Amino acid sequence: MNRRAKFVAADLGASSGRVMVGLWDGTRLSLEELHRFHNGGVNSGRELRWDVSGIWAHIQEALKKYRVRFNDSPDGIGVDAWGVDFGLLDSSGQLVSNPFHYRDVRTLGVSQSLFKVIPESRIFAETGTQTMEINTLFQLYSMVQKNDEELQRADTLLMIPDLFHYFLCGEKAIEYTEATTTQMYSMARCDWVEPLLNAAGIARSLLPRIVAPASILGTIRTEVMRESGIEKTVPVVAVASHDTASAVVAIPNMDANSIFISSGTWSLIGVETGEPCISDDAFRLHFTNEGGPDGHVLLLKNITGLWILQECQRQWKMQGQHYEWTHIVKAASEAKALQSIFDPNDRRVQVESDMLGAIQSYCSETKQPVPQTIGEIARCAFQSLCLKYKSTIESLELLRARELKTIRIVGGGSLNTFLNQMTADACNRSVVAGPVEASALGNVMLQAIATGHLKDIHEARSAIAASMECVFYEPHPSEAWDEAFVKFKRLEVD
């Protein structure tokens, strides 16, 4: 319990990646950054894919930096990443091709095609997973429909973090929290849904065994040790490999009256429950059930988050206007409040080519003032996100039949003090922000549990509470927010 240890956590996001070292002194934990890099899809003009070899090179570079910095071997290494995307290995264990990005257009309309074979309600009843065309199920079904040559060559499917675990130690397995993002896993059966796979024409043999969070998969391969300079064998741990699940591990004081928001490119908003919710209301309200640590289920909704403003920022840069986040937030804070709003999950703002035009067209079509300046556009996006949070929380209270009093925000978005206070005001609830690097912290904590340095999740959360500071925001509700919410509910698509 009091042994010192160092754990390497590769925390891969859809827009950036970071490799951290968790330094455990037996009582408290600190994080040190080894390596940070840009991540994103590579668009060939025909398709959008992930540069897996590039990401792997960054992980190897981080291990070299670890060796230089500490001159020893870590006590564990684990990878967490986004859900739904996957890589395919052939019979010799080689990667068939770079994995597709979830925003590739190949899945457009595919869900409706599958629902003609097996009804959507039946899929939800089996999996508890909300329909999103980016889900693994529909990515695979799009390949089945096209008799895709890559799928025909494939012997094994591994989700993104599991793929890097395979590169690290050679073990083919899918970690439970990632499996639950595929829309092919049954929490009730604790296994893949074979009737669904058969109906979709997906070979069951593609899917390897499922392992629980905090499972030691094996030890780091000799080739990786040689490349990085690490001299002793290192356990490779399947943490809660879906980054949302890892982030929830790291939330201090998470209880039955708390809502979590993992805020970043996506906003994942939900609660911890003891069992999946597959009621008619959950289906109608588009909630999903994902695996959490320690036997919990995360009942949540996926909301398009800060990606919308990231796209605006990218577009402004292409126009020769280089705006940092601090400038965007300051401009938003100075713009007039609650002039225009939109539903972040509306298809009309799910575009990469012209996000500024999409927001402006949406506001024009819905007969609202059209935002023009940086501040007006940013404020429109921030307040729309907060109103989506409020709507989602009301739905969660309906599903859980209880009042949810405290919003706990983790991830990069927890640094945005303007957005945090706006969230408190819009939702009329207390907000606790932090820790920022929650996914990396959760990753480290599960490695500590797997290797015997911590007993369980409760002890891990207590350690994080003792190690990290959070920021508190109290709400300042107003009639203006109430009126905006009534307007938002008329615009909301789900």
Residues taking part in catalysis = 243
| Residue burial 44-74, b: 16+ Cβ < 10 Å; e: rest | eeeebbbbbeebbebbbbbbebbbeeeeebb
- DSSP line for 275-332: S----HHHHHTT-EEEE-GGG-EEEEEEEE-THHHHHHHHHHHHTT----HHHHHHHH
CA distance 282 to 21: 39
Decide if 470 contacts 417 (C-beta within 8 A).
no
Cα 461 to Cα 177, 221, 351, 456, 468: the distances in Å are: 19, 31, 38, 9, 10
Pairing of strands 185-186, 174-175: unpaired
Element (H, E) at 69: helix 52-70
Taking alpha carbons only, the member of 460, 468, 472 closest to residue 406 is 472
Q: Is the peptide bond before 435 cis (omega within 30 degrees of 0)?
A: yes
Q: Exposed, middle or buried: residue 439 (CB in 10 Å: 0-12, 13-18, 19+)?
A: buried
Amino acid at 341: I
CA distance 58 to 164: 12
Q: Exposed, middle or buried: residue 346 (CB in 10 Å: 0-12, 13-18, 19+)?
A: middle
Pairing of strands 5-12, 76-80: parallel
CA distance 156 to 88: 6
Element (H, E) at 419: helix 417-427
Strands lying side by side in the sheet with 29-38: 29-38, 16-24, 5-12, 76-80, 235-238, 215-219
CA distance 245 to 327: 32
Decide if 377 contacts 349 (C-beta within 8 A).
no
Taking the mean position of all CA atoms in its chain, how far away is CA 183? 15
Element (H, E) at 12: strand 5-12
* Residues composing the chain: 494
68's tokens: 């230089």
